[in-house]
């Protein structure tokens, strides 16, 4: 008798498993044929659809995602509900959205398959970039391998705790008004001894990073807002983009700040400009929806790259020098391989424009700061995943990694500066001292000092106190 019950129980379990398997197959088919895509994504439409089916609009502790899943499950399992839903306006809206999505995908495919012939100069530059980036990557991976072999969990935890405690001791120690208009950009020199600051008045100023004394000032640099000030790896050249559409290169030594050359080509405002890690090239982003690559020695435009649907606002080189990331008003970022000219990753998820981005020293993570108040951390090794930091109450205007990659700093229109640990993206500290919107921040090695600027026309210095 017991054996018979066991057999019947086993048969029942197998039947239940088969039914579940068949149900899962049907659900996959439902998804495959676009059924799930036709379910409304706006929560109010989901509630209205549930009401149409005479179902509760919301259940206890049910969030928007779970509510949409419940609606999909009802439509999938009931032909009656499916018929009611397909006769509704919400189904028609889903069809229109699906059509637009398919058209966007087709446009993306067309963009990815579109290439322009490379000039001889660009081909030679790419040959250099291949050799340079491979050497840098090999060096980085060797150091990472050595660090892994010497890794001690107890010591690492102690280091992280000490670093977190030290960042809590960062204080405002100095402030300097350097322009009649908001200061849009600050950048520390490679040895952290100097600060380059630029403003919406078009001027460029060099300050001592310990005293904030003004050392040099170029008042005729650009016309209007300056974007994307950065130093070359050797600390003797500075690049800055202007509202008039040009990228200027300045030479600096202890005696003078001198304009050396101007790169013309962009049709509208240049919002960002960065030196390649080799120091041989400059990348610039513009409101003309392109980014461009310039050869410093020949002063030639090597590459004009399209791909964004709206104005660009930020650009940055990966540490090895093989990749470029661009971000802009279309709310997305694109990672490009400049050795081949191809896009390798699209960073989609922000609901408002990307105003800043920064590459981690580890070479495979990039942070983007957006008008939606969040920072997203993207990992090239896992394109389908990202980490979201709810960082500010307003526009994130700048993100930057500390030189050793131990922390990430951000600033915002909410007048605050935040630091986050890169091991778990936990908040370390908040700095407040500006009386108006902050536009830019930069951080030195070991986070021993920070510089910031903004609408209050000041450059502020923050240092770690013992």
Task: Report the alpha-carbon distance of residue 386 to residue 389 in Å, rounded.
Answer: 10
**Same domain (yes/no): 370, 252:** yes
Residues 101 and 246 in one domain: no
Q: In whole numbers, what is the pLDDT of the chain averaged over residues?
A: 86
**C-beta separation of 270 from 241 below 8 A:** yes
Tell me, what's the pLDDT at 114? Answer: 47
Give the residue numbers spanning the domain of 84.
2-112
For residues 140 and 60, state if they share a domain: no
CATH assignment of the domain containing 413: 2.130.10.10
319: helix, strand or coil: coil
* Predicted confidence (pLDDT) per residue in 232-282, tens digit: 999 999 999 999 999 999 999 877 899 999 999 999 999 999 999 999 999
Say what the pLDDT of residue 94 is: 63
If asked whether residues 390 and 417 sit together in one domain, one would say yes
Which of 84, 112, 140 is the endpoint of a domain? Answer: 112
State pLDDT tens for residues 2-24: 444 444 554 545 555 455 445 54
Please say which residue of 48, 82, 112 terminates a domain.
Answer: 112
Residue 1 pLDDT > 70: no
3 state SS of 422: coil
Q: What is the dihedral of CA 273, 275, 276, 279, to 10 degrees?
A: 160
Q: Are 289 and 251 in contact (CB under 8 A)?
A: no
The verdict on 251 and 387 lying in the same domain is yes
Same-domain status, 11 and 81? yes
Q: Which helix (H) or strand (E) holds 449?
A: strand 449-454
Instruction: Examine the domain organization and report whether 349 and 330 are in the same domain.
Output: yes
The total number of structural domains that make up the chain: 2
How much is the pTM? 0.74
- Mapped onto helix, strand or coil, the DSSP state of residue 223 is coil
Banded pLDDT at 465 (limits 50, 70, 90): confident
Among 94, 112, 130, the domain-final residue is 112
Burial 350-380 (b: 16+ CB within 10 A, else e): beebbbbbbbbeebbbbbbbbbbbbbbbbbe
Q: How far apart are CA 167 and CA 444, in angstroms?
A: 12
Residue appearing with tokens 């790896």: 233
Q: How far from the centroid of its chain's Cα atoms is residue 160's Cα?
A: 24
Torsion sign over Cα 188, 283, 408, 287:
positive
Token pair recorded at residue 313: 């606002």
- N-terminal to C-terminal alpha carbon distance within the chain: 80
Summarize the confidence of residues 310-320 as an average pLDDT.
Answer: 95
* Pair (108, 179) in one structural domain: no
- Do 19 and 143 reside in the same domain of the chain? no
- Taking only the tens place, the pLDDT of each residue in 100-143 is 655 555 454 444 444 557 789 999 999 999 999 999 999 998 88
pLDDT, position 4:
47
Q: What is the pLDDT of residue 232?
A: 96
Q: Are 271 and 358 in the same domain? A: yes
Give the pLDDT confidence of 330-353 residue by residue, as tens digits.
Answer: 999 999 999 988 999 999 999 999
Residues 91 and 149 in one domain: no
Query: Do residue 108 and residue 136 come from a single domain?
Result: no
pLDDT tops 80 at residue 426: yes
């Amino acid at each position: 008798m017991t054996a018979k019950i066991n057999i019947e129980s086993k048969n029942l379990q197998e039947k239940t498993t088969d039914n579940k398997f068949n149900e899962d197959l049907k659900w996959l088919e439902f998804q495959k044929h676009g059924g799930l895509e036709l379910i409304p994504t706006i929560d109010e439409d989901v509630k209205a659809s549930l009401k149409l089916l005479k179902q509760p609009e919301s259940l206890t502790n049910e969030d928007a995602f779970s509510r949409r899943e419940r609606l999909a499950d009802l439509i999938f399992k009931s032909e009656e509900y499916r018929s009611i839903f397909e006769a509704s306006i919400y189904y028609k809206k889903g069809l229109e959205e699906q059509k637009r999505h398919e058209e966007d995908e087709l446009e993306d495919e067309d963009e990815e398959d579109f290439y322009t012939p490379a000039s001889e100069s660009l081909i030679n530059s790419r040959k250099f970039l291949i050799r340079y980036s491979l050497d840098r990557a090999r060096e980085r991976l060797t150091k990472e391998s050595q660090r892994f072999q010497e890794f001690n969990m107890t010591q690492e935890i102690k280091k992280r705790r000490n670093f977190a405690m030290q960042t809590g001791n960062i204080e405002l120690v100095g402030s300097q008004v350097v322009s009649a208009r908001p200061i849009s950009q600050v950048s520390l020199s490679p040895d952290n001894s100097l600060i380059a600051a630029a403003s919406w008045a078009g001027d460029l100023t060099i300050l001592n990073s310990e005293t904030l004394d003004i050392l040099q000032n170029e008042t005729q640099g650009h016309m209007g807002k300056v974007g994307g000030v950065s130093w070359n790896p050797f600390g003797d050249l500075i690049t800055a983009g202007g509202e008039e559409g040009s990228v200027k290169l300045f030479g600096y030594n202890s005696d003078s700040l001198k304009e050396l050359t101007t790169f013309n080509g962009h049709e509208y405002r240049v919002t960002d400009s960065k030196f390649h890690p080799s120091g041989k090239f400059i990348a610039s982003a513009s409101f003309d929806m392109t980014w461009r690559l310039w050869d410093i020695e020949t002063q030639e435009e090597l590459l004009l790259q399209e791909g964004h649907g709206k104005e660009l606002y930020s650009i940055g080189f990966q540490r090895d020098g093989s990749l470029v990331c661009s971000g802009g008003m279309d709310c997305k970022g694109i990672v490009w391989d400049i050795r081949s000219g191809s896009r390798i990753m699209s960073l989609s998820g922000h609901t408002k424009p990307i105003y800043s981005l920064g590459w981690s020293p580890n070479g495979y993570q990039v942070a983007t700061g957006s008008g939606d108040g969040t920072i997203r951390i993207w990992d090239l090794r896992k394109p389908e995943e990202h980490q979201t930091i709810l960082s500010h109450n307003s526009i994130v205007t700048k993100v930057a990694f500390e030189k050793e990659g131990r922390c990430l700093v951000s600033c915002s229109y909410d007048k605050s500066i935040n630091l986050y640990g890169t091991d778990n993206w936990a908040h370390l500290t908040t700095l407040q001292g500006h009386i108006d919107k902050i536009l830019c921040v930069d951080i030195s090695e070991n986070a021993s000092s920070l510089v910031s600027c903004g609408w209050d026309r000041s450059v502020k210095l923050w240092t770690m106190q013992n």
